[in-house]
Amino acid sequence: MRNQSLLHSLLAAAGLAIGTSGTALAGGFDTAIFVGADLDVSGSLNTTEFNTTLDAGLSVRAQAKAFRRADINRDDSIQINEWLIFDGQIVPGNKLERIFYRSDLGIDGSLTFDEFSSAYAAKVSLVNIRRFFLRADVNADTTVTLQEYLNLRRGITPVGESLTIFQLADFNGNSQLTVDEFGNFYARSAKEAKIQTRFARLDADADGFLTTSEWNPGVRP
Mean pLDDT for the stretch of residues 101-114: 94
- Mean pLDDT across 76-92: 95
Residue 144: strand pairing partners: 111
| β-strands 78-79, 44-45 pairing | antiparallel
Tell me, what's the pLDDT at 221? 67
Q: With respect to residue 12, please indicate whether it lies within any of the assigned structural domains.
A: yes
Encode pLDDT of 198-215 as tens digits.
999 999 999 999 999 999
The verdict on residue 99 lying in a domain is yes
**Structural domain of 83:** 1-108
Examine residue 129 and state whether it is found in any structural domain, yes or no. Answer: no
Rounded to an integer, what distance in angstroms lies between the CA atom of residue 10 and that of residue 110? 10
CATH number at residue 13: 1.10.238.10
Is residue 119 one of the residues assigned to a domain? no
- CA distance to 6, 81, 98, per residue, from 135 (Å): 25, 25, 21
pLDDT tens-digit profile of 148-177? 999 999 999 987 778 999 999 999 999 999
Structure confidence at residue 44 (pLDDT): 96
Closest CA to 7 of 81, 115, 116: 81
Judged against a pLDDT cut of 80, whether residue 9 lies above it is answered with: no
**Cα gap 157→185, rounded to integer Å:** 23
Burial annotation 119-150 (CB, 10 A radius, 16+ → b, else e): bbeeeebbbbbbbbbbbbbbeeeebbbbebbb
Q: How high is the mean pLDDT of the chain? A: 88
What's the number of domains the chain is made of?
1
Nearest C-alpha neighbor of 3 from the set 109, 148, 162: 109
Helices (H), ranges, 52-191: 60-70, 80-86, 95-103, 113-117, 126-136, 146-153, 165-169, 179-182
Residue 86 CB-half CA count within 13 A: 25
Q: Is residue 127 part of a domain?
A: no
pLDDT of residue 50: 98
- The tens digit of pLDDT for each residue in 17-73 reads 333 333 344 557 899 999 999 999 999 999 999 999 999 999 999 999 999 999 998
